[in-house]
């Protein structure tokens, strides 16, 4: 069945890889992000694509985008809330404005877009929603205070939504990537709001972004509720769950970069 797939943060990284992973004649892929030039570059390699620039921190833009999609396609089969930004600064270094900006992008942007798309899915009685969290959504980590908090918040919201939809065909999946080889560390915000502009060693040695995208596609097809993707760092999720004291000892020794 031909699907309408909407991906935010589609100009690079996991979003771009997901567009490529779904790239065939059976799907129309809506590419959203703030950088039109990046979206156009991705679009050149996608068979059926539709470019829809969007700043998810702006509710009016979200409403306009959803209205455009409803009038153009009539539905959204898969919504992948991939837009996000990371952090590389201590709590004391991070201004309140930067903290709010991280929450606006990572939490409220995802939530507001989901709420705007949800009525279409309810009316169609079908659809899948993906929330891109992080391994840092399961535990705190140095230099990631607001980033981790925003991802923790996603779990509370989307777990609640999933339970509210339990008697419907709608599906919600939370994805928790660990270290994936993308530019997320380069684009991360410092305490003053500037770009970190450095590739962390952990990111450089992370799993290929194509492998991450493939696992997300497979997880969706199997209707997974929560999906962990990464290397040995994913073990920290389970150590934190079952051995919190041990987790703290390990985390204190891990290089946050």
Other C-beta atoms closer than 10 Å to the C-beta of 207 total 16
Are 72 and 50 within 8 A, CB to CB? Answer: yes
- Cβ burial 128-153 (10 Å sphere, 16+ → b, else e): bbbbbbbbbbbbebebbbbbbbbbbb
Are 29 and 22 within 8 A, CB to CB? Answer: yes
**pLDDT attached to residue 255:** 73
On the CB side of 166, how many CA atoms lie within 13 Å of its CA?
4
**pLDDT attached to residue 1:** 73
**pLDDT attached to residue 40:** 98
**pLDDT attached to residue 33:** 98
Are 138 and 176 within 8 A, CB to CB? Answer: yes
Which of 3.40.50.720, 3.40.630.30, 3.30.2130.30, 3.40.50.1980 is the CATH number of 3-251?
3.40.50.720
Are 203 and 226 within 8 A, CB to CB? Answer: no
**pLDDT attached to residue 98:** 98
**pLDDT attached to residue 41:** 98
- Cβ burial 63-79 (10 Å sphere, 16+ → b, else e): eebbeebbeeeeebbbb
Are 174 and 155 within 8 A, CB to CB? Answer: yes
Rounded to two decimals, the pTM is 0.96
Per the annotation, the verdict on 238 as an active-site residue is no
148-172 pLDDT, tens digit each: 999 999 999 999 999 999 999 999 9
Are 204 and 103 within 8 A, CB to CB? Answer: no
Instruction: For residue 212, give both structure tokens.
Output: 């991450």
Instruction: For residue 126, give both structure tokens.
Output: 């079908």
For the chain, what are the domain ranges? Answer: 3-251
CB neighbour list of residue 106: distance below 8 Å, 6 or more residues apart: 84, 85, 147, 150, 151, 154
Length in residues, the chain: 257
**How many helical (H) and strand (E) elements, i.e. helices and strands, does the chain have?**
11, 7
**pLDDT attached to residue 202:** 85
**Whole-number Å distance between alpha carbons of 242 and 50:** 45
CB neighbour list of residue 65: distance below 8 Å, 6 or more residues apart: 32, 52, 54
Options 22, 147, 158, 228, the catalytic residue: 147
**What does the pLDDT profile of the chain (257 residues) look like in tens digits?**
799 999 999 999 999 999 999 999 999 999 999 999 999 999 999 999 999 999 999 999 999 999 999 999 999 999 999 999 999 999 999 999 999 999 999 999 999 999 999 999 999 999 999 999 999 999 999 999 999 999 999 999 999 999 999 999 999 999 999 999 999 999 999 999 999 999 998 889 999 999 999 999 999 999 999 999 999 999 999 999 999 999 999 988 877 66
**pLDDT attached to residue 254:** 74
CB neighbour list of residue 74: distance below 8 Å, 6 or more residues apart: none
Other C-beta atoms closer than 10 Å to the C-beta of 26 total 11
**Whole-number Å distance between alpha carbons of 216 and 224:** 9
């Amino acid at each position: 069945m031909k699907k309408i797939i909407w991906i935010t943060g589609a100009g690079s990284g996991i979003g771009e890889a997901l567009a490529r992973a779904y790239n065939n004649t059976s799907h129309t892929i809506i590419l959203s992000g703030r950088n039109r030039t990046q979206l156009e570059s991705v679009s050149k390699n996608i068979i059926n694509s539709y470019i829809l620039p969007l700043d998810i921190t702006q509710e009016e833009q979200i409403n306009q985008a959803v209205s455009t999609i409803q009038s153009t396609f009539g539905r959204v089969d898969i919504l992948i809330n991939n837009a996000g930004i990371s952090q590389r600064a201590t709590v004391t270094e991070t201004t309140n404005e930067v903290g709010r900006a991280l929450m606006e992008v990572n939490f409220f942007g995802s939530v507001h877009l989901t709420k705007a798309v949800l009525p279409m899915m309810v009316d169609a009685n079908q659809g899948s929603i993906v929330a891109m969290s992080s391994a840092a959504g399961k535990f705190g980590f140095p230099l990631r205070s607001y980033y981790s908090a925003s991802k923790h918040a996603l779990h509370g919201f989307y777990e609640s939504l999933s339970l509210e939809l339990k008697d419907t065909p709608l599906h919600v999946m939370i994805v928790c990537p660990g270290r994936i080889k993308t530019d997320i560390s380069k684009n991360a915000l410092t305490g003053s709001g500037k770009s970190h502009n450095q590739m962390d060693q952990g990111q450089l040695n992370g799993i290929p972004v194509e492998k991450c995208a493939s696992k997300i596609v497979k997880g969706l097809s199997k209707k997974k509720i929560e999906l962990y993707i990464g290397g040995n760092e994913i073990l920290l999720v389970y150590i934190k769950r079952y051995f919190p004291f041990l987790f703290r000892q390990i985390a204190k020794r891990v290089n946050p970069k």
